[in-house]
Structures are given as structure tokens and as C-alpha cells.
Amino acid sequence: LATAVLDSFTRTPVDTERSLPNMREGDLLVGAFTNGQIGHHRPFVGAGDLCFDVGAHVGDRTRALRRLGARVIAVEPQPACLEWLTFSYRKDGAVTIVAAGVGEAEGRATLLVSQRTPTVSSLSPTWVDSIRRAPRFAGVTWDERVEVPLTTLDALIGRFGRPVLCKLDVEGSELAALR
């Protein structure tokens, strides 16, 4: 599997022994991939393998993983995205949707939602404040706050098993999710 774990936002290595003690290096591949890159994941994911799509949004990566025959746990906190995921995968028994964010501990958190740009909705006010100043995000507003349940990667592993691949795209909360 993967030889390194990277923070998908900063692309810096993550100390897996300290951040995620119940997983071994190579168990978790973090970062985004597109449907066009799915061929790169064939060596990692086979038919029947378990994968986590954490920060599933509207399920593009879930769809790509299903094309490889994987069983997918799609984790998403945004209500509008959850409606789409539920509709899209309602007849697919190999996809389980978990309505939650992923963080350091189970509980509840406030999701900062951008209605016009939902891909940058985040559980991290610090991350939102930092990208708000970037010219690329000048027109983005986070105009809704939604209380959402939080789970952890360890809880997901306990419930569903150890994945062969975990796509983690949680807009600034990657390190919290890995702790």
C-alpha cells in the first residue's frame, strides 16, 4: 500500500505512530484523487476491498472506488451532500453512508458551510480564516453553521474494519482527523 501518509492540504508527512496509533504506516493513503487517476489506485484497491471516503461530498471518489469493485464507507457531514449521496447510492449495497464529520474525538461540532462553494465547507474555523484571506477565495462566504455529529477514524475502523485505502479530504481538519 502507500509508503507515506500525507496531509492532503499541505502535502507534508504525518507522523502516523503519534497521530493514529491503531494504524500502521502503509494502512492509510490520504489525499484526493480524480476519476482520471483511478488507474493509479488499481494496485491498492481490488474487488471487495474496504475503502473509506472521508469528506465524500457528492461521491465522486466513492464512484471511482466502486468502479474498482470496492466496498465504500462514505463519510460526509453536509446535509445537502448527504441527500445527494443517499439518493445516488440508495440501490448500492456496497456503499454505506455515515452522516458525520471526522475529528479527534466523538461528539458534535459546528460545520461552517459555504452555500455557494460547498467544497470549502469546514469544521476548522482556523482553516476558514486562513483561506478567507487568499485571493482565490475572496468571493467565498461561509454563511451557515450546522451542528453535526463527529466520529473518529478509530471508531470507523472499529465499526467497519480496517480499510485498504482512506481518502481524507476534510478542508483543514486532516490533522485533527488523524489524531
What are the C-alpha distances in Å from 52 to residues 31, 49, 118? Answer: 12, 10, 20
Tell me how crowded residue 155 is: count the other CB atoms within 10 A of its CB. 15
Tell me how crowded residue 89 is: count the other CB atoms within 10 A of its CB. 20
- Whether the per-residue pLDDT at 29 is higher than 70: the answer is no
Residue type, 165: L
pLDDT, tens only, 121-169: 889 889 898 888 888 888 898 899 999 999 999 999 999 999 999 998 8
- pLDDT, mean of residues 91-95: 96
- Whether the per-residue pLDDT at 28 is higher than 60: the answer is no
Choose the most confident range, by mean pLDDT, from 34-38, 113-117, 163-167.
163-167
pLDDT, residue 115, reads: 86
Residues contacting residue 90 through CB under 8 Å, at least 6 positions apart:
none
pLDDT, tens only, 41-55: 677 888 999 999 999
Q: What pTM, to 2 d.p., does this model score?
A: 0.77
